[in-house]
Structures are given as structure tokens and as C-alpha cells.
Structure 1
Amino acid sequence: MAQLSFFSAEANPPVLDDLAGLLCCQGQVVSFGGTAARLSVVVDELWRAQALVAACAERGVPAELTTSEEDSPLVRTPFRADLIGFAVDWTRGAVKAVPPGLALDGAMLRLWAMAAGRWSEGGYLLGLDPRAPDTHEPLGGALARCGLAATMGVRGGGPGLRVSGQRRLNRLAELVGGSPVEVPHGEWPVVSRVRATG
């Protein structure tokens, strides 16, 4: 049995900081009076929303599942004082920005994959926020620092970072851990899929 990496999602208990994975993709943070903030993310499939609600609950944050104006699944937390750090770290003025020196770990990557990951053209594509293009390059750098050098790609008309190559895909699968329940085939980085594409 392989030893889990210290940075694997399954090697450490869930913590609030893991929710930064939602902001790596299309997730948004809104602050209220500088004392509280709310995280929200619109996803394209119901399983993603259900998995994210469960992931928030594991971190002590209740989240509701509703629908966006475009009738897509929307996961949203209440305004909470313990989420204000995300607004401070992930915004510059009113613009979404990646915190300097962001250190991604397995749990953050797991939430990123839940919200916006899928197999694409022989690699695994982690979706990016099309409304925050200045976050794309820093997130690519953060992936590279954790051993997952990626190239820019497109997922369903939106931008993403594609991780490819058997070694990097194996590392990604190790970091994000086992798939959430009810994940459709082809949506989660698992070792068997990695071997099939290597």
C-alpha cells in the first residue's frame, strides 16, 4: 500500500482554509461591512453542488443548494465572520486576486476538482474563473509549485489548467483522494484512469 503524501486530502482533517479551492475556479467571495463574508459557486452539474455542500459541512460551514439566475446549481454559505479572511486574501480592491505565494494542498485541489474539474484531451482540466483572468497565471504557478505543472486549456468554452503526463496525473489523483459519491465516469482524477491515459 502506497504511503499517503502529507499534502493529500486524505492525510489531514478538513479545515476552513480548504475552501480556498472554490476560489481557484469560478467561486466568489463577497464581504459585508468588513466583518463577515460569504462564499458562493455556480457549478454545471448537481453532483458537484451536492459534494460541495457536504464538503462545507465537514468544515463546519453550512451551505445551501439553490439555483442561479441561469438555472444552474448554486452553492452558497451564509455571511460569517470566520470567512472574512477569504475576502481579505482573495481580493485586491473589488477584484478577485490570488494571494501571493498561495500554497495549494490536496484538500484545496479536491474542492477545486469538485467544482470545476474533468478529463479533457488526455489530461485533467481544472476550470478557472473566466471573469478573473488575472488569477489564471498565478494559479498556474501555484500548481507548478506543488508538482503539477499545467498548460492553459479550454473546458466547455471556459478557461482551465490542464494537468497531463502520467507522473503528474498520478500525483493529482493521490492529492485529491477518492471521488465523492455519485461522480459520473470521467469527472474525477482516479489512478485507473491515469494508467489508461499514460
Structure 2
Amino acid sequence: MSLSGLGDTGKAQPPPALFPAPESDTPTSGRRRGGAPQNRSSQDGPGQQSDDAGRQLVFFGADAAEPTVADLAGLLAGPGEVVRMGGTARLSVQVDAAWRVHVLVAELASRGLAASWEPTEGARHAVRTSYTRVLKPLAAAWLHGTTKRPPAAFHLTGRRLRLWLAAAGTPEPPDCFLLRLGADDKECWEPIGVALASAGLAGTLLGPGWGGPAYRIAGRRRLARLAELVGGAPDAAPADAWPTRP
């Protein structure tokens, strides 16, 4: 099933009822290229701690730069997978909610990548790109044979965190947020934790027996930092599924 979001089709099949449009009372945000939601927050993210009235864009925040293919490393920090075929590569991720499909397809479209989706077992959905040479550098950086591992210089920007959160972020009220990891990506878990800490989001690694694998980001200060980095909620996201600025 195709849900490309690229505007390349008056012939494209519309999203089925499983993927409804955002509710009418969802806060409306601006739009960036490709139809993906964009947050009007050019004045509300501090690069350094400061009063709300004097906020600037967060350095490395989601609103600080145009979307690029390199941002998709955020999906690989979580449960995303990349595979190679010849001189091309394909990115895929399984998600647990319909709204995530909407958001990810729009995010991929904003980077010039068509995506398709299909339902999988356990009321989950697989989102994947086509095989493309555009993703070859990402695959080369992350794959060691068939094993996924972050490159040595890996770091987390706001756009990378936004994609990770859209694919696999789960709130734990009142003051925690889980960022889920790939169950078979044990070699990634520790370096991803280092990257989180470097972004000011030091978290606790939860193993599979404790509701993981995932990093738990706990405390109001860290959640505020996460909210600043990832920007406002996409239109399709439920209000309680996204971190909010205090």
C-alpha cells in the first residue's frame, strides 16, 4: 500500500480509514516542503537556558535546519533498519500506531523519499522506503556486514530525535519518556546512550525484561530539554504522545 505524501499522484490510493486525518481540534502548525508538519517555533527554543521572552532556536534543535537524509539516522538510533542491495539501500521501521505512519511518511517525503506502508502482526505497521542510491551512504555508515552499529562520530540532533520519537517514543506519566531501541541491536544500545547524554538527555537503559529495550528519560528538566529539541507535536500525533515545553 502506498502512502507517499509526495504529491505525485492524483492516482494514488487515499489512506484507508485505519489512518484518519488529524482531528479538527488538533493545533494547526505551518507546513514545510513536501507537506510535512512544521512547527512555528522560531522564537521558542533556548540555545542556552533563558526566560521564555528571550528564547532562541535550540542549537541542533529540530527547527534549526532544513530536513536532510542524514536525519534518518534518528530512526536507526531506535528500531529502524537499513539493508543494502547492490548500490542501493532501503530504510524500514515498524511502528505501533497509525499516527506514526502519517508522521513518518510525511517526514520521508520532505526529504525526497517515497514511502509505503503495510499492516503487520500485533496491530503494528511497517513503513519503508524504496531501494535508492540516496540511502547508500547511510547504510555504509551504519552497517558492519549485516550488523547495525552507530558510526564513531554519531550524535543526536533535534531532527534525528524528532524522527526517533515519532517512530518509537512513548510517554510515561508524569515525568518520564521512553525512547525505544531495536530489540536485536545490542551493539547500538551503549553508544546511543552516550549520544543521548551528550545531547543533555542522559537516560536509564531498560532491558527487555524491564519494558525495554529503551532509554527512559526522566525528570521535568530533561523532558523540557527533549521538548525543546524535537519541536512541537506533528498534526497527526495525539496531544499526550509528544513532550511539551513547560
Answer yes or no: same fold by TM over 0.5: yes
- Structure-2 residue corresponding to 1:11: 64
1:45 aligns with 2:97: yes
Give, as a single letter, the amino acid of the residue that structure 2 aligns with 1:109.
L
Q: Provide the aligned C-alpha RMSD in A.
A: 1.7
1:27, 1:129 within 8 Å by CA — same for their partners in 2?
Answer: yes
Deviation at 1:87? 1.1
Deviation at 1:64? 1.1
TM-score if structure 1 supplies the norm length? 0.90
5+ long unaligned stretches in structure 1: none
- SS of 1:55's equivalent in the other structure is helix
- Structure-1 residue corresponding to 2:153: 101
String of CA shifts for 1:153-190, please: whole Å, max 9, x gaps.
36894311111222221111000001011312431111
Following superposition, which runs of at least 4 residues in structure 1 exceed 6 angstroms of deviation? none
- Structure-1 residue corresponding to 2:231: 177
Q: Which moved more, 1:123-132 or 1:105-114?
A: 123-132
Question: After superposition, where does 1:1-198 map in structure 2 within 5 Å?
Answer: 1=53, 2-33=55-86, 35-68=87-120, 72-120=124-172, 122-153=175-206, 157-191=211-245, 195=246
Give, as a single letter, the amino acid of the residue that structure 2 aligns with 1:17.
A
TM-score if structure 2 supplies the norm length? 0.73
Instruction: Assess, with a 3 A threshold, how the Cα gap between structure 1 residues 186 and 89 changes in structure 2: closer, same or farther.
Output: same
Distance 2:167 2:88 in 1: 23
Distance 2:240 2:215 in 1: 17
Deviation at 1:82? 0.9
Deviation at 1:71? 5.1
Distance 2:105 2:211 in 1: 26
1:50, 1:65 within 8 Å by CA — same for their partners in 2?
Answer: no
Give, as a single letter, the amino acid of the residue that structure 2 aligns with 1:149.
A
- SS of 1:135's equivalent in the other structure is helix
The count of residues paired between Structure 1 and Structure 2 equals: 191
1:125, 1:153 within 8 Å by CA — same for their partners in 2?
Answer: no
